[in-house]
Amino acid sequence: LPTALAMEHNKSIETSVSQALQMEKDGAHIIDIGGESTRPGAKEIAIEEELHRVVPVILSLRKVSNVPISIDTRHSHVAKAAIAAGADIVNDVSGGTFDEEMLSTVSKLSVPMILMHMRGTPETMQTMTSYSNVVNDVAHSLKKLSQRASDAGIPKWLQVLDVGIGFAKDYHGNLELLKYGPGRVREYMGDDTAMLLWGPSRKGFLGTITGEKVAEKRDYGTTAACCMAVATGPLGACNIIRVHNVKDVKQAIQVMDAIRGA
């Protein structure tokens, strides 16, 4: 079973900690905490506000659990403060390109980093969804992000690469990434050891397929997408899946694994 990276955003401290503990109980191996929305069209918030939202939650969660915590941020200052508060991993949806100090900061912190593929910003990214070959283009972009991180002092064994499902991808782009999967991305990167993350949970393309307009009601579609992401191909499945409903996805993958191993 790949690592489940559960998501926590914009809740009260008590609610966030309670939900994180439940996600851990349900099988999440990493809790992702973020204070800035990165949904399509979302505007940037002040760094001070982002710090106010995430640091108290990390401090409170760390008091009651040793579960690994990732800080979902594009800002090096927030990343540094979050790690000091008890987080373990930096998760940057811009792949370290938004803040010019991010890669050097993570290098100095000597922690793992999740580098995601995206074009533009959350506010502009859905106007940048044209690719000649989405799988190939994303793979080559991830290879460049990985090399930039390596050059900054973040070794490959501390890097996780995220294809950015739903980020600067249209309906067909998201489906192609899921269809051809992690194995094809590794093939195009020329790196069969790359650590890959897939995050299709509750994304808009699932609503397009199912007709479900409410994101929180897309868990059945999410489960199907996650099963595709972890189906082992010639160069393997993804290593981490990012989900909201940990329990349901974990059960589905356990059953899939049992059938495959029978």
Helix (H, G, I), strand (E, B) or coil at 47: helix
Q: Which of 74, 203, 218, 250 is catalytic?
A: 203
- Note whether 72 and 93 are within 8 A (CB): yes
12 vs 256: CA distance, rounded Å: 36
Residues in the chain: 262
Q: How far apart are CA 103 and CA 95, in angstroms?
A: 9
For the question of residue 242 being annotated catalytic, the response is: yes
Is 203 a known active-site residue?
yes
Catalytic residue among 80, 186, 242, 250: 242
Residue type, 30: I
Cα separation, 77 vs 59, in Å, equals 16
CB-CB contact of 68 with 89 (8 Å): yes
d(CA 171, CA 173): 6
> Which tokens in the block code for residue 55?
């640091």
Residue type, 156: K
Query: To 5 degrees, how large is the angle CA 182–CA 188–CA 194?
Result: 50
Q: Give Cα 205 distance to the centre of its chain.
A: 17
Task: Catalogue the active-site residues.
Answer: 203, 242
